């Protein structure tokens, strides 16, 4: 039995190992970079097999043809590996735009080698020599061959650097595997350079296919069992870019000197400037600010295209992977319509509330005085009704004032004894009301952490609503109990129940011309419940049970209330 020389065995082993790796990775076709990596492995397997056969082929024409095939597949291995690295790390757009160049490069190298006898651009004085028991090839490389081989080495090097940059920048997931893929290129690249520039004792034999053995071993470590193609940096890279470019709000990235580094399309449109014109300009100048640093303010006003827009500004420090501060991400939110709406509502609220409180108080006083001077019962009845309506409007104005005071105040959070709070609400009704109706309090030692002012307004509003709409001499019960991690405060009456259309308005979240409530009471209770982080519900099957449920973040103490 004749044993083949070890370079031949190593070449065939590299080809076989590469084919097995291709078989394992075949299921990942279509994943970012996978097709190009399979193409690179295919060229590598062909190269290893062709060179293994070449090493036992002493017939010069056949040996020359196999040498040409080795050069073509060498070029394919390098260029396809670069395409893989680009696509895998989220730079697939480069490959998509120039895919024909990646595909044509190995074909061009093969054609120049095949037609070398005509032009002599690749090599000269081709000769088959016996060395180490194999058929080596000795020839003088010309400029084209040197450039093609050097380009292949550079392509592989660039691809490896892309992988290293990605694993350093994008966290630990598959970091060891990606590093292994990058390192796997070092043995064959070193072997190519040594053969290309005649370094070593046997220049007529290329040991690149032998160096594929550790290359295949490292690739197998990276891909077999790791599902590396199931997660790829392309998702994160494209996602980060899309998070800025596709965001509807203007986003500007600035350096530490607040000079524009990049901005998204929304910022270009909002500020009326193209990206190329905005780069390196101070952000303040871009926004038309005179000396004011936009990153130090909460809002800016921008005049662009004949429009005046107001933006809130959110500035976030930007650091690199080493934690060094390198700039800021500045996000602008257009609040022009919101600010104008708030301004209009503020003016209307102040004017109407002022008129209701002052003018209707005057109307109420004159109407009451006139009623005392009139003897005609019909006229007195009309004046009494007018006085009643005036009183209702004054009360409505006070309710609107309460809404503004409660909802616009700074929230507080303290421990509230609900039994004491319910007694306070009952006492306020007794002192303000006309004495009709019975109000009782049923509450154990229950406490909750909440804003006491808002809580008292909500319960008082529900009690007022119950006494007003529950009929003659109603019975109302105020109660509180703990329900798991929350506290429920219930206002129950024995009246006819809140009309469905009143509750439908709350459920819809807005009033319309055909569906609206009778006042601000339920809205005030609903808004207050939301401000407390709670929920307001109604049960109208037997009377009305309005239940305010407020979450309690504080643990219960031994006293039972807290």
- For the beta carbon of residue 270, count every other beta carbon within 10 angstroms: 22
- CATH number at 145 reads 1.20.1070.10
Q: Are 375 and 415 within one domain?
A: no
Residue 279 is classified by DSSP as: T
Q: Are 68 and 177 within one domain?
A: yes
pLDDT reported for residue 92: 72
Residue 504 covered by a domain: yes
pLDDT reported for residue 516: 36
Residue 34 covered by a domain: yes
Give the integer Cα–Cα distance in Å for 395 and 357. Answer: 8
Number of structural domains (the chain) is: 4
Q: Which domain holds residue 455?
A: 411-562
Residue 329 covered by a domain: yes
Domain end point (choices 408, 438, 464): 408
Given a contact cutoff of 8 angstroms between Cβ atoms, the answer to whether 99 and 121 are in contact is no
Give the integer Cα–Cα distance in Å for 135 and 204. Answer: 9
Q: Is 345 left (phi over 0), alpha (psi -120 to 50) or beta?
A: alpha
Residue 243 covered by a domain: no
Domain end point (choices 271, 299, 334): 334
pLDDT reported for residue 14: 92
Residue 152 covered by a domain: yes
| Full strand arrangement of the beta sheet holding 251-255 | 260-263, 251-255, 325-334, 307-319, 299-304
Residue with the two structure tokens 């104005």 = 397
Picking from 166, 170, 167, 184, the residue whose alpha carbon sits closest to that of residue 223 is 184
Q: What would the two tokens of residue 291 be?
A: 């000396």
First to last CA, the chain: 91
Q: What is the DSSP string of 73-116?
A: HHHHHHHHHHHHHHHHTT-HHHHHHTHHHHHHHHHHHHHHHHTH
Give the integer Cα–Cα distance in Å for 549 and 455. Answer: 11
Residue 315 vs residues 258, 295, 299, 323: alpha-carbon distances, Å: 11, 6, 11, 17
Domain end point (choices 373, 390, 408): 408
Residue 282 is classified by DSSP as: B
Judging by beta carbons within 10 Å of its beta carbon (0-12, 13-18, 19+), is residue 117 exposed, middle or buried? exposed
For the four alpha carbons of 451, 453, 454 and 458, in that order, the dihedral sign comes to: positive
Residues with Cβ within 8 Å of 348's Cβ and at least 6 positions away in sequence, in order, are none
Give the integer Cα–Cα distance in Å for 404 and 397. Answer: 11
Q: pTM (2 decimals)?
A: 0.51
Q: Are 208 and 98 within one domain?
A: yes
To the nearest 10°, the Cα dihedral for 243, 246, 251, 254? 60
Give the integer Cα–Cα distance in Å for 397 and 348. Answer: 12
Q: Are 299 and 417 within one domain?
A: no
Q: Are 230 and 323 within one domain?
A: no
pLDDT reported for residue 161: 80
Residue 19 covered by a domain: yes
Q: Are 10 and 146 within one domain?
A: yes
Which long-range contacts link 110-118 to residues 24+ away (Cβ below 8 Å)? 110/68, 110/69, 110/71, 110/72, 110/75, 112/144, 112/148, 113/67, 113/68, 113/71, 113/72, 114/68, 116/68
How many residues are given for the chain?
Answer: 562
Q: Are 75 and 185 within one domain?
A: yes
Q: What would the two tokens of residue 398 be?
A: 């006070």
Give the integer Cα–Cα distance in Å for 379 and 384. Answer: 9
Residues with Cβ within 8 Å of 209's Cβ and at least 6 positions away in sequence, in order, are 7, 10, 11, 14, 15, 47, 48, 51, 52
Q: Are 434 and 541 within one domain?
A: yes
Element (H, E) at 174: none
Residue 242 covered by a domain: no
Q: What would the two tokens of residue 241 be?
A: 């870019």
CA atoms within a 13 Å half-sphere pointing along the CA-CB vector of 180: 17
Write down the H helix ranges in 439-544: 452-469, 500-508, 521-531
Residue 436 vs residues 399, 429, 470, 475, 483: alpha-carbon distances, Å: 21, 10, 11, 9, 32
Residue 297 is classified by DSSP as: -
Q: Are 389 and 509 within one domain?
A: no
Q: Regarding beta strands 438-443 and 475-483, do their DSSP bridges make them parallel or antiparallel, or are they unpaired?
A: parallel
Q: What would the two tokens of residue 28 be?
A: 């990942």
Q: Are 252 and 188 within one domain?
A: no
- CATH number at 538 reads 3.30.565.10
- CATH number at 291 reads 3.30.450.20
In order along its 562 residues, the chain shows pLDDT tens digits of 345 688 899 999 999 999 999 998 898 888 878 888 899 999 999 999 999 999 999 999 999 999 899 989 988 888 898 888 888 777 777 777 777 878 888 888 889 888 988 888 888 888 999 988 899 898 888 888 888 888 888 888 888 787 777 655 555 555 677 677 778 888 888 888 888 777 777 888 888 888 888 888 888 887 776 666 665 565 555 555 666 776 778 888 888 888 888 888 888 888 888 888 888 888 888 887 666 778 788 888 887 766 778 888 888 888 765 677 878 888 998 888 887 777 666 666 666 666 666 777 777 788 878 877 777 788 778 877 887 777 767 766 666 666 666 666 666 788 999 999 999 988 887 665 555 678 889 887 889 999 898 898 889 888 888 887 766 778 889 999 998 889 999 999 887 767 666 666 565 544 443 333 445 677 778 888 888 888 888 888 888 888 999 998 664 443 334 3
Q: What would the two tokens of residue 111 be?
A: 């054609």
Residue 1 covered by a domain: no
Q: Are 229 and 89 within one domain?
A: yes
Q: Where are the beta strands (DSSP E) in 403-485?
A: 414-417, 438-443, 447-450, 475-483
Q: Are 461 and 561 within one domain?
A: yes
């Amino acid at each position: 039995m004749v044993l083949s020389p070890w370079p031949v065995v190593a070449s065939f082993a590299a080809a076989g190992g590469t084919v097995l790796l291709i078989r394992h990775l075949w299921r990942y076709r279509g994943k970012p970079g996978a097709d190009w990596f399979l193409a690179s492995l295919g060229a590598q397997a062909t190269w290893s097999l062709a060179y293994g056969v070449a090493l036992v082929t002493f017939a010069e024409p056949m040996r020359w043809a196999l040498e040409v095939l080795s050069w073509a597949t060498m070029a394919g291995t390098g260029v396809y590996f670069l395409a893989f690295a680009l696509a895998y790390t989220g730079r697939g757009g480069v490959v998509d735009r120039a895919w024909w160049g990646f595909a044509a490069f190995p074909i061009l190298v093969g054609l120049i080698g095949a037609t070398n006898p005509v032009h002599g651009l690749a090599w000269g004085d081709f000769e088959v020599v016996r060395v180490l028991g194999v058929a080596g090839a000795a020839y003088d490389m010309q400029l084209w061959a040197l450039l093609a081989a050097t380009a292949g080495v550079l392509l592989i090097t660039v691809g490896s650097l892309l992988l290293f940059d990605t694993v350093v920048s994008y966290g630990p997931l598959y970091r060891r595997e990606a590093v292994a893929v990058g390192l796997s290129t070092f043995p064959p690249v070193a072997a190519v350079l040594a053969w290309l520039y005649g370094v070593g004792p046997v220049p007529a034999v290329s040991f690149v296919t032998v160096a594929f053995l550790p290359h295949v071993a490292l690739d197998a470590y990276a891909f077999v069992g790791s599902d590396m193609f199931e997660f790829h940096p392309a998702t994160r890279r494209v996602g980060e870019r899309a998070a800025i470019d596709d965001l509807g709000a203007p986003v500007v990235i600035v350096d530490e000197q607040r000079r524009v580094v990049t901005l998204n399309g929304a910022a270009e449109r909002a500020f009326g400037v193209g990206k190329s014109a905005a780069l390196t300009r101070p952000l303040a100048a871009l926004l038309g600010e005179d000396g004011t640093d936009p990153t130090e303010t909460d809002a800016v006003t921008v005049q662009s295209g004949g429009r005046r827009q107001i933006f809130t500004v959110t500035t976030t420090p930007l650091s690199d992977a080493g934690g060094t501060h390198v700039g800021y991400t500045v996000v602008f939110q257009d609040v022009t319509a919101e600010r104008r709406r708030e301004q209009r509502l503020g003016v209307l609220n102040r004017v109407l509330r002022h008129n209701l409180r002052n003018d209707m108080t005057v109307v109420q006083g004159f109407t009451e005085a006139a009623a005392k001077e009139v003897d005609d019962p019909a006229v007195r009845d009309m004046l009494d009704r007018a006085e009643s309506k005036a009183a209702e409007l004054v009360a409505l104005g006070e309710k609107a004032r309460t809404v503004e005071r409660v909802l616009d105040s700074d929230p507080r959070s303290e421990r509230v004894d609900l039994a004491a709070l319910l007694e306070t609400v009952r006492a306020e009704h007794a002192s303000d009301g006309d004495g009709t109706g019975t109000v009782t309090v049923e509450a154990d030692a229950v406490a909750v952490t909440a804003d006491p002012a808002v809580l008292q307004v909500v319960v008082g509003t529900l009690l007022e609503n119950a006494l007003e709409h529950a009929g003659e001499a109603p019975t109302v019960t105020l109660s509180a109990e703990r329900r798991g991690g929350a506290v429920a405060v219930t206002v129950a009456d024995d009246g006819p129940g809140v009309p469905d259309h009143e509750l439908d308005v709350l459920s819809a979240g807005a009033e319309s011309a055909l569906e609206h409530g009778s006042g601000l009471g339920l809205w005030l209770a609903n808004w207050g419940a939301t401000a407390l982080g709670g929920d307001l519900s109604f049960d109208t099957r037997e009377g009305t049970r309005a239940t305010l449920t407020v979450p309690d973040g504080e643990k219960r103490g031994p006293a039972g209330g807290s």
